[in-house]
Structure 1
Amino acid sequence: MTQPDNAVSPQMRTRAAMGRDRLSAYLATAAALVLWASSFVAIRYCLRYFTPSGLAALRYAIAAVALVVLSPLIRGQGSARTGWRDLPLFVLFGLLGIVGYNIGLNLGEQTVTAATSSFVVAQIPISTVILQFMFFQDKISRGTFFGILLGLLGTTIIVLSETSGSGFGWGAIFIVGAIFSESAYFVLQKDAIHRLGAYRVNLFTILAAGICMSPLLGDLFTAGFPDGAGPWIAVLYLGLFPAALAYFLWTYAIRELGPVITATSLYALPFLTLLIGFLCLGEQPVPMALCGGALALSGAYLAHRFRQ
């Protein structure tokens, strides 16, 4: 007697569900990358009208409000409840992944093009490997070590390309500091995501960061309000999509795929940013920066291709 077509074993259902979860995680990663690529361009535009700290504070004030409004509609994936004992952890996450990264990036993008900034940020896979080696004794193969050296060489070339006769390329240095802050956030949040759920971790991290940066909103008054709707629409977009939505998608992807796999996908970010920056702002990075970026991206790829 033949088995009905609709009879599916529990094992097959489990495998299908796991496949759907991984597909959803990859789609979430891709969507977050597109949103983040556009954010480099939007930040570059907004810095014409806002200070770096004021822009970061306003952006994440908007993101915090958006996530609070959406929180009843989105069910967390963790089983544990959030308690006061988690407060220091969320403050740490907010300072590393939101405050440190965004203020550093904004300071850098005052002088560095959107595409060049994204080439530096694409080194997060390398900084993630370095931090995991330093704090968790993860093994580093020869191929990974070579990739790290290549990435550092490419980043050095980018820094030198941003150095003019008027001074050192501090903009790129600020962005390098930002990526190490972000890598620390990615590495440290994994256990909390498994325990509390991606959305809950994302929500309280952004809330903590928004509170920490609230004094910086005063910069908006001292610098003066921009005329026209364009800057306000851009910062609203930054708060709602690359900040609120993208960080939720990214933390979900980390939960399903792990921090290293998701961080590796960031090497595609500069190409998206280069295209969006050219179309929206007409930006064209200097050839030396592009060469350094190509080396840096190659290093980021090798660091994970040969990672043990």
Structure 2
Amino acid sequence: MDQSAGASGIDHRALLAASVTVALWASAFVSIRVSAEHYGPGALALGRLLTASVALGVVLLVKRVPPPPRQAWPGILGSGVLWFGLYMVTLNWGEQGVDAGTAAMVVNIGPLVIALLSGWLLKEGFPPMLLAGMGVSFAGAVIVGMSNSKGGSSSLTGVLLCVVAALAYGAGVVSQKPALRYADPIQVTTYGCFVGTACTLPFAGQLLTQLPGAPLPATLNMVYLGLFPTALAFTTWTYALSRTTAGRMGATTYAVPALVILIAWSALDEVPGWLTLLGGATCLTGVALSRRRPRQRTGKVPATR
């Protein structure tokens, strides 16, 4: 057993990496709302991915990391197109019509997609504790989203775009997992980001047009999205994913809606109501439940007569 895993069998390094990812991805929902007022969905995705690609590219050069082997490329291409490319554009577009809390709730359909696809395609199975935790966390995510829907002001188009983002996210994770059998997390993340950047290059003209007129906070938020929720958080994600199943990692992200509310509370001075707090607590309870492993019985073998 890995030295980072305790007696409970939990990989503490993977758990720490997943926690960093969840916190940074939660902050991304708020940052997107700030930047989306001044950048189009494609332009914001391209600016974010360009920033991340430069940062990750520098890391590769400094550490002299070679290109990933060809066996990893199908998964890298799939995750790059679906997750880095399609997911980021549709999420940015969706958040123009829904608030951050609702977007976080809808996107959390993604872990359900991950669990179903990974259980089927990756043969990870459907552990009862994982399914139970997902059910509890999804209920909490729904409560959070309903409590922040601002009286039904969310547009149907925005919700549908967030559903597309969730499907792209789920399929992208399942595509990414096999690549980690052949390549390091930094290789899978960096080259997936490169692929996503290439997919969003058609929005270069839009980005160049909107960049001069955008206020500094909006541009700084775009740079932040590239450096932290993308370059750093996707790297910690792939590190954790390489040490556990896709289903468990997907369930971990159910904590995101709860953290979105806390960040919006501190950054935007929006005090959450009791229903929001209840939903957030339910999300965290489900995450803890999904990561539990059933205890192995060590009873004595009965003697034969």
Question: Normalised by the size of structure 2, how large is the TM-score?
Answer: 0.78
2:55 equivalent to 1:72 = no
How far apart, in 2, do the equivalents of 1:157 and 1:168 lie? 17
> How much has 1:30 moved relative to structure 2?
1.0
Alpha-carbon contact 2:124-2:245 (below 8 Å) kept: no
CA contact (8 A) 1:113 1:283 kept: no
The one-letter code of the counterpart of 2:85 is: V
Correspondences of 1:172-183 after superposition (within 5 Å) = 172-183=159-170
Cα pair 1:96 1:181 within 8 Å, conserved: yes
Three-state SS of the structure 2 residue aligned to 1:16 is coil
Moved more, 128-137 or 113-122: 128-137
Matches within 5 A, 1:207-286: 207-223=194-210, 225-283=212-270
User: Could you tell me which residue of structure 1 aligns to residue 298 of structure 2?
Assistant: none
CA contact (8 A) 2:5 2:11 kept: yes
The aligned counterpart of 1:44 is 33
SS of 2:238's equivalent in the other structure is helix
Taking the aligned partners of 1:74 and 1:232, their CA distance within structure 2 comes to 29
Deviates more, 1:182-191 or 1:277-286: 277-286
SS at match of 2:84: helix
Q: Contact 2:52–2:231 at 8 Å: present in 1 too?
A: yes
Corresponding residue SS for 2:26: helix
- Which shows bigger deviation, 109-118 or 55-64? 109-118
Structure 2 segments unaligned to the other structure (5+ residues) = 295-305
Q: Which has the higher helix share?
A: 1
3-state SS in 1 of match to 2:68: coil
What corresponds to 1:201 in structure 2?
188
Q: CA deviation at 1:203?
A: 0.8
Looking at structure 2, the residues matched to 166 and 241 of structure 1 have their Cα atoms a distance apart, in angstroms, of 30
Question: For residues 205 and 104 of structure 2, what CA distance do their matches in structure 1 show?
Answer: 28
Which 10-residue stretch deviates more, 106-115 or 37-46?
Answer: 106-115
Tell me the CA shift for residue 246 of structure 1: 0.6
CA distance in 2, matches of 1:129, 1:190: 12
Tell me how far apart the structure 1 counterparts of residues 176 and 48 of structure 2 sit (CA, whole Å).
Answer: 22
- Partner residue in 2 for 1:59: 48
CA distance in 1 between counterparts of 2:11 and 2:152 reads 49
Q: Percent identity?
A: 27
- Of 117, 142, 146, the match for 2:103: 117
1:76-118 residue CA offsets vs partner (Å, 9 max, x unmatched): 6xxx963466555433221111111111111111121112222
- The answer as to whether partners of 2:106 and 2:159 remain within 8 angstroms in 1 is yes
- Which blocks of at least 5 consecutive residues in structure 1 are unaligned? 1-13
After TM superposition, the structure 1 stretch with the greater mean CA deviation from structure 2, 162-171 or 291-300, is 291-300
* Aligned mates of 2:256, 2:221 — CA distance in 1: 20
Q: How far off its partner does 1:141 sit?
A: 7.3
Is structure 2 residue 117 aligned with structure 1 residue 131?
yes
Aligned to 1:31: 20
Contact 1:60/1:210 (<8 A) preserved: yes
Label 1:273 to 1:72 Cα distance change in 2 as closer, same or farther (>3 A).
Answer: same
Cα distance in 2, alignment partners of residues 269 and 167 from structure 1: 19
43-52 or 172-181: which moved more?
172-181
Rounded Cα–Cα distance in structure 2 between residues aligned with 1:211 and 1:291: 40
TM-superposed CA distance for 1:190, in Å, is 1.7
**TM-aligned CA deviation for residue 194 of structure 1:** 2.3
Letter in 1 for 2:44: L
1:246 and 1:141 map into 2 onto residues whose CA distance is: 26
Distance change in 2, residues 1:155/1:174 (3 Å): farther
Answer yes or no: is the 8 Å Cα contact 1:159–1:173 preserved in 2. Answer: no
Q: How many positions carry a matched residue from both structures?
A: 291
Q: 1:125 offset after TM fit, Å?
A: 2.2
The residue that corresponds to 1:4 in the other structure is: none
Q: Secondary structure at the match of 2:98?
A: coil
Q: Over aligned residue pairs, what C-alpha RMSD do you find?
A: 3.8
